[in-house]
A and B are shown apart, each in its own frame.
Chain A
Amino acid sequence: MEVRASTLGEVVEAVRAYPRLRPKGGGTKPALSAPREGEVGLNLSGLSGILEYTPEEFVFTAWAGTPIAEVEEALRAHGQYLPFHPPLKGKGATLGGTVAAGLSGPLRHRYGGLRDFLLGVRFVDGEGRVVRGGGKVVKNAAGFPFHRLMVGSLGAFGVMVELSFKVFPYPRATRTLRAKMPSLNEALSALERLRLLPLDLLALDLVPPATLELRLGGFPKSLKARLEGLKALLAQGGAQTEVLEEDGAHWEEVRDLRFLEGSPIWVKVPAKPQEVARLEGLPLGPRRYLDGGEVLYAGTGPEGLEALRRAGLPHLVLKGAEDPLYPPPPEAFFTKLKRALDPRGCFPLG
Chain B
Amino acid sequence: MTHKTIQVTPSRCIGCLNCELACASRDWGQYFPAGSKINLVFFKDGGQVPVTCFQCDEAPCLKVCQTGALARNELTGVIASDPDRCVGCRTCVSVCPFGNINYSKAGRRVEKCDQCQGQPRCAAACPSGALTFVDDAKLVQARRRAYAESLKSVASTEGPK
A, B in one complex: no
Residues of A within 8 A of B (CB): none
Residues of B within 8 A of A (CB): none
